[in-house]
Structure formats: C-alpha cells, structure tokens
C-alpha cells in the first residue's frame, strides 16, 4: 500500500514538474527574475488543508531559489510556520529552512534566532529533530562565528534530555559538528560558559537507546575529524561499548578505539586482573583483534580493516595474530605451517607419506591453556577463515598493510597468504595475489611455498593467472630448484593456456634478470646441450622454447660467464629474438659483436629532454607568430601539427601533450580556414550551397573540443576554459553561417537567444578565469553584451562576424600531466574466418576483452558499440563489475556483448568498438538545492555524446533462420 501511495505521489510530481518547466520557459522571455517568494506566499495562503499546503511546499522544493530571494522566502515560511497546526507541514517547513540556509551566497545568521525561537515552543519530536537539523545546517554554514556556535551548542545541550531518540540523536550530531574546539576555552574571561563537549557526549555513551549511543560515538568521531583532541579517558568508556548488544554501536566503538589508539599510542594502560601495564596501542590492538570474531559480520569487517592501519603496534603482539595454539587431546600440536618449515629446514622434502606426521608431541599443562586469549591471538587466522568473503578480503588487505611496514611480519604471514590462494571466491584469491606482490620485496619464498603458489597457475581464470605472473615477476626465489620448478610450471601453463604467451614471457624476463646466479647452473639442462654431442636444433617458433630463451638471455645480461655455455644455434636464435622481441630480450655483450648493442642503452636517458624542448619551441613559435599573413599562418600550423603528431608517436611519454596541443592547433587552423572562405565576401543570397566547408569546420571544431575536454586525463581548469572558449567560437561561426544561408528571421531569433544564453553560461562558470582571457573573443563579446541583448539578430550576426575575425589566438597552457584515453580490444581478435553462427531472433554472447588506459571513471563512461552491416548501431553499457583495475591509470574491460539480428543469407561482419561517453554537465558543480537526481536547471545546456576511442574490430557473424 505504502509503495502504491509513493508511486502515486511520484506520478503527480512528474506531471507538476513538466508544467512548471513550460511556465518558466514562457516567463523567461518577459521577466528576468520571477519573484519566488510572492508566488509561494500566494500558494500557501490559498492552501485550505494541511495536505494542500504540503503539496505546495513539495512543489516549491523542486525549484531552486536565488540567493537574493532566500530571505523573503524564509520570512514567509516562518510566518506560515507559526500559524500551522499540522506537524507534517511544520516538518516540511523546517526541512526547507535547512535547505534554504545551504544556498550559496546567503548568510543564514538572520534566521537563526527565529529557528531557535520556534524550537522552544515546538512539541512534536519529529519537528524538533528536523529543526535541530536545520540549526546544524546553519551552524555548519557559519563556522567562523564563535558566538553562534556556542549558542547552538547550548540549545543542543538543553534538548539532550528529550525523551525521543531522534531529538537526542540530532542534538549529539549538532554537538559533534559544532562543539567548541579547545581554542575557545581561552574565552572564559568573557563569561561564555564553555562546556566540556566531550564530557557531555561521553555521558550519552550509556544512553538506553542504541541509536543514541551510536550517535554519541559518531559525534565523538566527528569532533576528532574536526581536529579536537579527544581525551584519553574516552578509551575506557569506548572499551565498555565493545560488548554492547547492538552491532552498530560496537562497530562505531571499534572506530573510536582505533582513533584513540592513534592519538595516544604510547601511553600506558593497566591490564585488568593483573599488575602489568601495556602500551595503549597494544591494548587497543588486542581489543580490535578480539572483535574480528564478533557475532556480526559488519563489525568484523570494520575491525579487520582497522587492524591494517595500526602500524605502531609492538611486533610480538603483531605476531600473535597469526598464532593459534594448536592442541589435540591436550597435547601441543604443531601447525601444518610449522611442520612444513621444519621439513624444509631439515632438508627433507615434504612427501606427505609419513604416518603420524602431525602426532602431538609434548603434553601441556591444562592450567596454562588459555582458550579465549585476551590479546591478539589468532585474529588473522580467524579473519582469513571467516564465513563472509568481505571479512576475508578486509583481513587480507590488513595483512598487506601491516606486512608492508614490518618485514618480519611479512615473513610470518606468508604462509597464510599462500593459503588464501585457494580461497573459494575468486576475488579473495586475486586480492591475496596482489597483496603478495606488494610485499614481495620483503620476502623470499621457500620451496614448499613456491610450490603452492605455482599450483595456482593452472587456475582457469585468466585474471588469476595474470596476477600470478605479475607476482612471479617480482618474487625472490631462494634456490635453483625453485627457478626450475617455476619454469616448468610456467611452461605447463603455456601449453594449457596458449593465450597467456605474452604474459609468461614477460614474467620469465623478470625472473631471469632477478636470479642470474640461480639460472646459471640450469643452463645446460634448459638448453639440453651436451658436452660431446651436438643436439638437435629446437624449433624457433615454439613458444615454450622462446620462453626458456627469454629466461636465459635475461639472466645472461648480468652474468658474463653464461654465453660460454650457449651452442651455436643459440647465438643465431639470440640475434633473431633480439630483433623480433626486442622488448623481452636485452642487449647482450656477446663475444663476437660487442659494440653494436652497447651504443643503444646509454642513448635512452638524455633523449627525452630535447624532445620536450622541441615541443615547447614549436608551440612557442606558433603562439608568437600571430600576425603573420594568413597563408603563412596556415602553413606553420599545418607543419607544427604534423611535427607534433610524429613526436607523439616517437615519444610515448609526450604523446598526451603532443596530441592535446595538436588537436588545439587543428581547431585553430580550421577556424582560420573557415574565416578565409570566399563566401564572406559574396552577397548573402548567392551561395546557398557553398557554405558546406564553413559549417563542416564548425562542426568538426565542436567535436574536437569535446575530445579535448573529455578524452584526456589531467586536464585542469585553465585548459577547460580555453577549450570552452574555442567551442564558443565554433558556435559563433555556426550562427553566422546559418544566418547567411537561411532566409527569414524566425529561426535566427531562437538561435541568437540560445547563443547569448551560452555566453552568459560561460561567464557564470568561468568568472574566475576571465582575467586570463584578455583581448580574446569572449572578452570582447562580454564588453558588447548589453548591446547584443537589445539588438536584432541580423546585427548580432554582423557584430559576431567582425569580432570573430579580430579575435586573437589564445595561448594554451600545457598541463603538468596529461594522458590521452586509449583502448585496445584484445578480444575479439577479428581474424577469424569462421562466422559465429546463431539462430536469428535469439542472442549470441560475444566475449569482449579490452585494455583501457587513462580513462577516468570507466564504469560510467565506457560503452561498447556494435555496428551492423545494415547501419543499425547498438550501444551496450558494460556492468561496473566488468571493469578490473590492474594498475594505476589502467583498466581492463572483460564483458559479454549480446548480439542479435534477423536472419541473413550469408555471413557478414559487424564492427565492435569502444566509445567514451561524456556529459558536458559533469564538470560543473551541482548546486546543493538539486538533490537526488531531480531535473537540473542547466538541462538545456548539457550536451551528451560519445567519442570513439578504440580501433573497431570486425566480427564475422551469421544469424541463421530459425528451423521450424
């Protein structure tokens, strides 16, 4: 029923909104600023019943209010508030007051008195809570005003004794957000009673309502966030809350304990029931560890996460987290990990064939066994075995962070991480492999551990295997058997999954260059050379053989004795691979050919500086030569664009900057070309069709500007201004061209109006940057704005035309870090001759695998487009879960695209490509007034579109007619 009602309410809203919009549109031509307050007043007076009034208020809340009229609106609302008997209407008014006070440019101190006033007479708890919320909004708006803060805090303290939990909640929130910081204590002399906010909030830790307790802890955390130093006394209070009945209280308490432990890590606390004392951070660590076995998984996740950031904890506490004293019939038993270690150190390889391997040894004293350790014992053992994978992931992350800061802990946690490679959830496995990679600098894998790690190479998930390859890239192996084992397993992997070829080669490259001395004794075996006999020459195209060679050649780089072991054909193969796979095979100092290779390596480093200089210089040249004759300018631009493009291809690190600048120059070039068209000199009616070039140029500039704005990561505001400026010029050009080619004035009216609105919008958005745009198109345009507003379209066009010609070329400042978004589709490869057959009318799933570089927020921007031969285009939004993030700035899209079509007579190719969606609104900050996806007022100016940013791939498909 409730859902039905809600739906009805929404239905009515949508209707109302549409009407309102029309109204605004019509009004806008006549009135510049309709008085909101007057309309509201009339509405509210008209309202006969509370339900009506509520409706009006709800409608009112959908529209923004300008800063100037807020005050008036507030007065009317307050006036109505006093008269209103219905609490729901009062509630809405109270919430509106809060919203209004958030309006930018409005100072809410004038409504505070009224708000406090009505608070005193209010009886309804809900309205009280809402009013306190409003006060909170006011208070946060005026953070500097001490007097107001103190007054609000007083109000909050007074209402803390309210019987409703909602009111107490809000009071605590208010205290947390506005409670005086310690600075204000100095004001004591003025007679302002500064209360001890922490004490007040602390008293509510034992409130009867769990929601209030939670709010109290949250308020305390809020105080901490605002920079107030919490008292150490809170620690004991918070510890008591850890055994609260309600999970949200416990969860918040864990956070609070963590905060306090970070504030006073070194202070000493006594251990109850003994005379010992320990550091606070250790105690807190123990307590949070205990929460890892809490009954609620929310608390467990929270606790596990926080453990990771407690780096000051002493090492013996840390190591306890991995220790769960094993016991079998009261005899101490060694863990499987300990056994494995022992076997390893005794030199015996684990066979698992011995009976009674895990037989318990020593008898233990029953009194000494402590089943519930007060401390950290086994926290991670529990966390990693938890039922919920969220907890397990949090535990793995925490392990990672702690291991990064403590090498000895890293060594110890290795066994556990390796165990996590066998988790049932792939995410957890992946996470633990990544974690292992991060801490791999600190560790050396034992052979038995390596064995377990390598077993995962057979995993059928490509993500897992690739993550593991990356892990192996930076692993330290201790023995030559280890290297051999790794190689064998990688080759096995290669035969099982041939698609992993590149990844495996890369992995072996690093493995070789890290362990040259371990590879050396293996070389004869690996190359199967024989001291007396010549062996058959291996097949050069065999990926496995190439893999072995990659390992050996990379090891040989730092091991000069190794080439002596090579046979003749190995040298030939080296030469071949050095050419064909130069990124995998390093330059070697081989006996016969010394100097060729050595020349290459030193030349890399100093190379980038001159190219950057070159880039700078060529851009300088363009910007300085503004008043050259048109022909010269065009040529210079053309050459510079060409240079930049070539530079981008050669120097990958400069590709972003070069492309970005080249695009900008191209826009400029197009603009210049368009303005030099002959058509401007011809009388208007004569060239109806010939203006194609100019309008095409305008369109292309627009497209390029969108590309500049949205396809590059690292674009700063100063570039955005220039880009928008360029777009504005393109729009002006478009207007002029249309004005010249169309007859009649009517359509021009609308276009002019729209253009002027856009200029206005530009001014509003970039008001801060306008001083940088001296002498530019928009600068001049704004000077003439009053005149343009009043003049007729024909005149406007004339003015624009002259201005466009006079405007100077703006200098585009180069951003620090700029990268062009790019995508490569790995799969489908587009080489298959076998069409994908499916029954028409049904769907076929096409696996798409692509790597994305420098795409911000790919989850919402990247789309897949499928173009059918009949021109039909289909756009697919991949699920957010389809994006993986293997490294900074890199993303991987692995998704399935569903294709369907009516029957064809023969197979044909469809094109698949990736698009980058953009929305011109996304860069503009939203006003607080518009909340929850309501219709934004800038809707008219927002432009959505897509930019293709990958090469398209052809897929051969064949929808067959359905068989009857």
Partner 1 sequence: MPEIRVTPLGAGQDVGRSCILVSIAGKNVMLDCGMHMGFNDDRRFPDFSYITRNGRLTDFLDCVIISHFHLDHCGALPYFSEMVGYDGPIYMTHPTQAICPILLEDYRKIAVDKKGEANFFTSQMIKDCMKKVVAVHLHQTVQVDDELEIKAYYAGHVLGAAMFQIKVGSESVVYTGDYNMTPDRHLGAAWIDKCRPNLLITESTYATTIRDSKRCRERDFLKKVHEAVERGGKVLIPVFALGRAQELCILLETFWERMNLKAPIYFSTGLTEKANHYYKLFITWTNQKIRKTFVQRNMFEFKHIKAFDRAFADNPGPMVIMPGYCVQGTVGHKILSGQRKLEMEGRQVLEVKMQVEYMSFSAHADAKGIMQLVGQAEPESVLLVHGEAKKMEFLKQKIEQEFRVNCYMPANGETVTLPTSPSIPVGISLGLLKREMAQGLLPDAKKPRLLHGTLIMKDSNFRLVSSEQALKELGLAEHQLRFTCRVHLHDPRKEQETAMRVYSHLKSVLKDHCVQHLPDGSVTVESILIQAAAHSEDPGTKVLLVSWTYQDEELGSYLTSLLKKGLPQASS
- Residue for token digits 């990124």? 583
Q: Does 271 bind partner 1 (CB under 8 A)?
A: no
Among 318-326, 400-408, 701-709, 739-747, which window interacts with partner 1 (CB under 8 A)?
A: 318-326
Selected binder of partner 1 within 38, 185, 330, 875 (CB under 8 A): 330
> Between residue 287 and residue 306, which ones bind partner 1 under the rule CB under 8 A?
293, 295
Give the shortest CB-273-to-partner 1 separation in angstroms.
11
Q: Are 913 and 903 in contact (CB under 8 A)?
A: no
Q: Does 344 bind partner 1 (CB under 8 A)?
A: no
Residue in 927, 924, 764 with CA at minimum distance from that of residue 102: 927
In whole angstroms, what separates CA 603 from the centre of its chain?
Answer: 37
Q: Does 371 bind partner 1 (CB under 8 A)?
A: yes
Among 13-21, 266-274, 454-462, 926-934, which window interacts with partner 1 (CB under 8 A)?
A: 454-462
Q: What angle do CA 743, 745, 749 make, to 5 degrees?
A: 135
Q: Are 501 and 469 in contact (CB under 8 A)?
A: no
Give the shortest CB-418-to-partner 1 separation in angstroms.
9
Shorter beta-carbon distance to partner 1: residue 422 or 613? 422
Q: Are 743 and 770 in contact (CB under 8 A)?
A: no
Q: Does 336 bind partner 1 (CB under 8 A)?
A: yes
Q: Does 384 bind partner 1 (CB under 8 A)?
A: yes
Residue 3's Cβ-count burial label (10 Å; 0-12, 13-18, 19+) is exposed
Calpha distance 543→501 (Å, rounded): 7
The kind and range of the H/E element at 886 are: strand 883-887
Q: Does 459 bind partner 1 (CB under 8 A)?
A: yes
Q: Does 326 bind partner 1 (CB under 8 A)?
A: yes
Give the contacts of 347 (CB within 8 A, at least 6 positions apart): none
Q: Does 388 bind partner 1 (CB under 8 A)?
A: yes
Q: Does 460 bind partner 1 (CB under 8 A)?
A: yes
Shorter beta-carbon distance to partner 1: residue 66 or 458? 458
Q: Does 353 bind partner 1 (CB under 8 A)?
A: yes
Residue 825's φ and ψ, nearest 5 degrees, are -90, 120
Residue in 358, 351, 254, 364 with CA at minimum distance from that of residue 300: 254
Residue in 500, 450, 502 with CA at minimum distance from that of residue 471: 450
Q: Does 245 bind partner 1 (CB under 8 A)?
A: yes
Count residues near partner 1 (CB under 8 A).
Answer: 47
Among 450-458, 527-535, 552-560, 740-748, which window interacts with partner 1 (CB under 8 A)?
A: 450-458
Q: Does 268 bind partner 1 (CB under 8 A)?
A: no
Give the shortest CB-322-to-partner 1 separation in angstroms.
10
Selected binder of partner 1 within 88, 124, 335, 645 (CB under 8 A): 335
Give the contacts of 146 (CB within 8 A, at least 6 positions apart): 180, 184, 187
Give the shortest CB-330-to-partner 1 separation in angstroms.
5
Q: Are 864 and 895 in contact (CB under 8 A)?
A: yes
Q: What angle do CA 414, 417, 419 make, to 5 degrees?
A: 110
Q: Does 447 bind partner 1 (CB under 8 A)?
A: no
Q: Does 845 bind partner 1 (CB under 8 A)?
A: no
Selected binder of partner 1 within 452, 763, 808, 851 (CB under 8 A): 452
Give the shortest CB-424-to-partner 1 separation in angstroms.
5
Shorter beta-carbon distance to partner 1: residue 388 or 794? 388
Q: Does 500 bind partner 1 (CB under 8 A)?
A: no
| Radius of gyration of the chain measured on its C-alpha atoms | 36
What letter would DSSP give residue 842? S
Q: Does 424 bind partner 1 (CB under 8 A)?
A: yes
Q: Are 205 and 237 in contact (CB under 8 A)?
A: yes
Size (the chain), residues: 964
Q: Does 386 bind partner 1 (CB under 8 A)?
A: yes
Give the shortest CB-893-to-partner 1 separation in angstroms.
20
Among 25-33, 278-286, 371-379, 587-595, which window interacts with partner 1 (CB under 8 A)?
A: 371-379
Q: Does 369 bind partner 1 (CB under 8 A)?
A: yes
Beta-carbon neighbour count of residue 525 at 10 Å?
A: 10
Residue numbers of the site for partner 1 (CB under 8 A)?
A: 161, 206, 208, 245, 293, 295, 324-330, 333, 335-337, 352-353, 355, 358, 366, 369, 371-372, 378, 381, 384-389, 416, 419-420, 422-425, 452, 455, 458-461, 496
């Amino acid at each position: 029923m409730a859902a039905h009602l809600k739906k009805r309410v929404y239905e009515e809203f949508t209707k109302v909104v549409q009407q309102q919009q029309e109204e605004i549109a019509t009004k806008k031509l006549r009135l510049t600023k309709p008085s909101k307050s007057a309309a509201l007043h009339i509405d509210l007076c008209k309202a006969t019943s509370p339900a009506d009034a509520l409706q009006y208020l709800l409608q009112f809340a959908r529209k923004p209010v300008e800063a100037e009229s807020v005050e008036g609106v507030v007065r009317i609302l307050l006036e109505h508030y006093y008269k209103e008997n219905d609490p729901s209407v009062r509630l809405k008014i109270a919430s509106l007051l809060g919203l209004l006070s958030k309006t930018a440019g409005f100072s809410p101190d004038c409504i505070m008195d009224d708000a406090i006033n009505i608070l005193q007479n209010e009886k309804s708890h809900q309205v009280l809570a809402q009013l306190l919320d409003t006060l909170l909004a006011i208070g946060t708006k005026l953070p500097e005003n001490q007097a107001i803060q103190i007054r609000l805090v007083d109000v909050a303290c007074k209402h803390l004794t309210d019987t409703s939990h909602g009111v107490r909640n809000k009071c605590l929130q208010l205290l947390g957000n506005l409670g005086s910081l310690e600075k204000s204590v100095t004001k004591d002399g003025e007679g302002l009673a500064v209360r001890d906010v922490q004490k007040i909030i602390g008293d509510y830790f034992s409130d009867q309502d769990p929601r209030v307790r939670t709010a109290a802890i949250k308020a305390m955390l809020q105080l901490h966030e605002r920079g107030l130093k919490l008292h150490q006394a809170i620690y004991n209070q918070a510890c008591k809350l850890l055994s609260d009945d309600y999970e949200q209280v416990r969860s918040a308490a864990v956070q609070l304990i963590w905060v306090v432990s970070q504030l006073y890590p070194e202070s000493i606390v006594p251990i109850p029931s003994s005379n010992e004392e320990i550091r606070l951070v250790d105690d807190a660590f123990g307590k949070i560890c205990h929460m890892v076995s809490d009954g609620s998984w929310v608390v467990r996740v929270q606790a596990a996460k926080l453990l990771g950031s407690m780096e000051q904890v002493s090492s013996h506490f840390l190591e306890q987290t991995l220790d769960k004293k094993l016991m079998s019939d009261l005899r101490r038993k060694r863990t499987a990990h300990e056994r494995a270690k022992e076997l390893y150190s005794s030199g015996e390889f684990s066979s698992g064939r011995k009976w009674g391997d895990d037989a318990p040894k020593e008898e233990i004293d029953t009194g000494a066994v402590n089943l519930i350790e007060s401390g950290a014992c086994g926290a991670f053992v529990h966390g990693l075995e938890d039922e919920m994978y969220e907890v397990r992931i949090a535990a793995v992350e925490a392990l990672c962070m702690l291991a990064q800061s403590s090498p000895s802990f890293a060594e110890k946690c290795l066994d556990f991480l390796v165990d996590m490679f066998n988790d049932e959830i792939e995410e957890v496995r992946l996470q633990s492999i990544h974690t292992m990679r991060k801490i791999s600098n600190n560790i050396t894998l034992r052979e038995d551990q390596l064995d377990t790690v390598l077993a995962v190479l057979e995993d059928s998930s490509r993500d897992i295997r690739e993550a593991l390859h990356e892990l192996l890239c930076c692993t330290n192996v201790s023995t030559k058997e280890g290297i051999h084992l790794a190689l064998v397993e990688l080759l096995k992997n290669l035969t099982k999954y041939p698609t992993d070829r590149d990844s495996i080669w890369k992995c072996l490259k690093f493995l070789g260059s890290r362990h040259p001395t371990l590879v050396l004794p293996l070389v004869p075996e690996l190359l199967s050379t024989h001291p007396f006999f010549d062996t058959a020459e291996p097949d050069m195209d065999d990926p496995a053989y190439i893999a072995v060679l990659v390992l050996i050649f990379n090891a040989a780089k730092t091991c000069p004795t190794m080439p002596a072991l090579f046979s003749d054909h190995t040298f030939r193969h080296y030469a071949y691979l050095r050419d064909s796979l130069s990124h995998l095979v390093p330059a070697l100092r081989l006996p016969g050919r010394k100097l060729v290779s050595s020349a290459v390596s030193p030349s890399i480093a100093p190379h980038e500086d001159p190219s950057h200089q070159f880039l700078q210089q060529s851009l300088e040249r363009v910007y300085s030569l503004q008043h050259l004759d048109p022909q010269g300018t065009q040529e210079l631009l053309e050459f510079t664009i060409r240079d930049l493009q070539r530079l981008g291809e050669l120097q990958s690190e400069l590709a972003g900057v070069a492309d970005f600048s080249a695009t900008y120059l191209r826009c400029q070039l197009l603009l210049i070309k368009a303005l030099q068209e002959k058509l401007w000199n011809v009388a208007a009616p004569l060239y109806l069709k010939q203006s194609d070039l100019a309008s095409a140029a305008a369109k292309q500039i627009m497209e390029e500007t969108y590309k500049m704005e949205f396809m590059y990561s690292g674009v700063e505001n100063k570039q955005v201004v220039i880009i928008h400026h360029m777009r504005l010029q393109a729009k002006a050009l478009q207007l002029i061209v249309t004005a010249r080619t169309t007859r009649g004035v009517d359509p021009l009216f609308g276009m002019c109006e729209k253009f002027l609105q856009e200029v206005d919008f530009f001014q509003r958005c970039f008001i801060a940057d306008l001083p940088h745009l001296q002498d530019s198109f928009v600068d001049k345009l704004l000077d003439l704005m009053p005149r343009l507003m009043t003049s007729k379209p024909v005149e406007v066009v004339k003015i624009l035309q002259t201005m466009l010609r006079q405007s100077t070329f703006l200098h585009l400042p180069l951003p620090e870090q700029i990268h062009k978004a790019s995508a490569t589709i790995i799969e489908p490869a587009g080489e298959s001759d076998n069409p994908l057959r499916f029954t028409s009318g049904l769907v076929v799933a096409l696996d798409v695998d692509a790597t994305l570089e420098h795409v911000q927020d790919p989850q919402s921007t990247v789309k897949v487009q499928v173009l059918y031969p009949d021109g039909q285009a289909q756009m697919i939004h991949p699920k957010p879960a389809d994006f993986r993030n293997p490294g900074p700035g890199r993303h991987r899209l692995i998704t399935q695209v569903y294709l369907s079509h009516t029957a064809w007579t023969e197979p044909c190719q469809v094109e698949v490509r990736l698009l980058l969606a953009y929305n011109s609104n996304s860069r503009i900050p939203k006003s607080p007034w518009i909340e929850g996806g309501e219709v934004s007022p800038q809707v008219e100016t927002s432009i959505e579109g897509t930019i293709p940013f990958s090469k398209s791939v052809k897929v051969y498909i064949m929808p067959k007619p359905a068989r009857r």
